[in-house]
Amino acid sequence: MSWNLDKIDHIVVLMLENRSFDNMLGWLYDPANPPPFDKPPRGQTFEGVSGKNLSNPIPPYARDAQRGSVPVGKATRITNPNPDPGEEYFHVNTQLFGTVLPDANRHEPFNRKPYNLPSPLPQVAPMNGFVTDFINTFPTWRKREPVYDEYKVIMECFTPQDMPVISALAHHYAVCDHYHASVPSQTFCNRSFVHSATSNGLVVNAPYVNWLFHHAPTLFNRIEEARRPDVTWKVYYDELNLISVTWLLQPALRPYRRTRFFHMDEFFKDAREGTLPSYSFIEPRLVVNHNDQHPPVDDFLFTHAELAGEQLLFDVYDALRHGKNWERTLFILTYDEHGGCFDHIAPPAAVPPEASRPPGQYDFQFDRLGVRLPVVLMSPYIEPGKIVHTVFDHTSIIKTVCNRWNLPPLTERDKAATDLSEVLTLDTPRDDDPVITPRPFQRMPRPEDEPLNDFQKGLLAIVTGITSTNRIDDQQQLTAKVRQLVLLLENEYQVVRLKNIGQAWKFMKERLDLTFQYEGVESQDAAMDSTQGELE
């Protein structure tokens, strides 16, 4: 049943970065909070951390191991967890099952067989290895072992006072407390699933060359194939990103760069004037002054990406709420993956995208979901304070769009998914306007000096790879193309040489200029030059 989905003409998705449900919303309802966050509305249940005896053991080799375990706590700094936790498949296995197999996986590269998976695999993951994995990962960034006060932060979760925007929206609309990442791993595969309901067997970001040959069709292609005036799409991205990450990771969208991808000023104009497409996908700022809420790499700078992300969420919601077509809009806030942040709910089983496909990277079968994500659904057809316990994943977004406009599924995963329409229960749209106030924050005076995180390095490598593929003979067989591309890329080496955001931004600009010259068009849009002043 699709409830009031036919009353929705605009579905808008904002996908932020690397936060778990408990990390962002675990303390949403707790008796110690001031009203209205002291208890769930109307006696509903809420699967957060309040009232539960939750902890993770400290491994015996760690400093301060005599403490035994780390309990769930409340965030002590807005920039935690810091440094960036592990997020690849093998790190997530340790986080879920509390195992490091073989023992050598305590150290880089962390990915020796059996990739930290216990045998037999428990039916229900104990979720008891977040502290262990954070302790193991910490030396990658800091070149030393952490003490208790440094590794306990992986168990800390924000309160509504820390994150007033997402908390208020979750309270005034609907929060999903069983929405999971599509893959128990990192960014690229999960961002692929939200568009394609598959990642073509890829489980981790690296080697980045793999993503240049990821030709799965997307939901956007389904919309194009429909050739109907009542169903349209756009991707909106920040001008300082220089290029859309969706465009970078989805080769099937290459033809639409100039016609379907737009800067955020276009989104705010479309929202205000009521000219949004049927389906909108919004990307945060991912490099300079990033507002994606991705955890930081180092103490060297504090960009407050968490509060900047809160401001972005508020700005998008405010534009939709006060735009012309709010009555016909469903706004979905989600995150790509949990980014190594603690969560206490074990991921459930999942339907593989293609039943006959052999195992993917690291022998993963795509038969279980990733960690829970903080997802909030907003629409005037949603009753205030709704808490949804249905299991969703990223392909539920695809299913919702396909059900609304009668489009065919992409894979078995989205075909089996549950759409999000059950929250649209009101017969008439609400006209209230909740008061929501973001926390003030300061931008760093020199954001160009911030160290790069692994996600940003991956984007740079993809940019380099796209430039290199333009120099390969299309008549060659795929194996020959890959061989030549590996020789041309040099992206691993080049990206390693880049030390900070400023170098990365200039590197991206040069590479994108070259890419679009190879396409036979003008150098990248003039907006790239206009943003140079942001770094000077």
What's the pLDDT score for residue 10? 98
**439 secondary structure, DSSP code:** P
What's the pLDDT score for residue 448? 66
Q: Examine residue 81 and say whether the peptide bond preceding it is cis (omega within 30 degrees of 0).
A: yes
Q: 234 with 258: CB under 8 angstroms? A: no
What's the pLDDT score for residue 519? 53
pLDDT in tens, 159-218: 999 999 999 999 999 999 999 999 999 999 999 999 999 999 999 998 887 888 888 999
Q: Any residues with CB less than 8 A from the CB of 466 and at least 6 apart, and which?
A: 212, 248, 511, 515
What's the pLDDT score for residue 479? 54
Amino acid occupying residue 278: S
Q: Any residues with CB less than 8 A from the CB of 453 and at least 6 apart, and which?
A: 84, 294, 295, 296, 297
Name the E strands within 297-431: 329-335, 375-378, 386-388
Between the alpha carbon of residue 94 and those of residues 56, 97, 203, 336, the distances in Å are 12, 5, 16, 20
The count of other CB atoms within 10 Å of the CB of residue 431 is: 8
- Residue whose pair of structure tokens reads 């991912």 in the numeric block: 286
pLDDT in tens, 111-144: 999 999 999 999 999 999 999 999 999 999 899 9
Amino acid occupying residue 417: A
Per-residue b/e over 275-302, b at no fewer than 16 CB within 10 Å?
ebbbbbbbbbbbbbbbbbbbbbbeeebb
Amino acid occupying residue 266: E
Cα 202 from chain centroid? 16
What's the pLDDT score for residue 41? 96
Q: Beta strand pairing status for 279-282 and 233-237?
A: parallel
Q: Which two tokens stand for residue 75?
A: 């965030």
Q: Which two tokens stand for residue 114?
A: 């059996």
Q: 353 with 203: CB under 8 angstroms? A: no
What's the pLDDT score for residue 313? 98
- Residue ranges, the chain, pLDDT below 70: 1-3, 298-303, 443-449, 464-497, 505, 511, 514-536
Mean pLDDT of the chain: 88
H helices within 71-172, ranges in order?
89-97, 130-142, 148-151, 164-172
Amino acid occupying residue 446: R
- Alpha-carbon span 414 to 393, nearest angstrom: 9
Cα 258 from chain centroid? 24
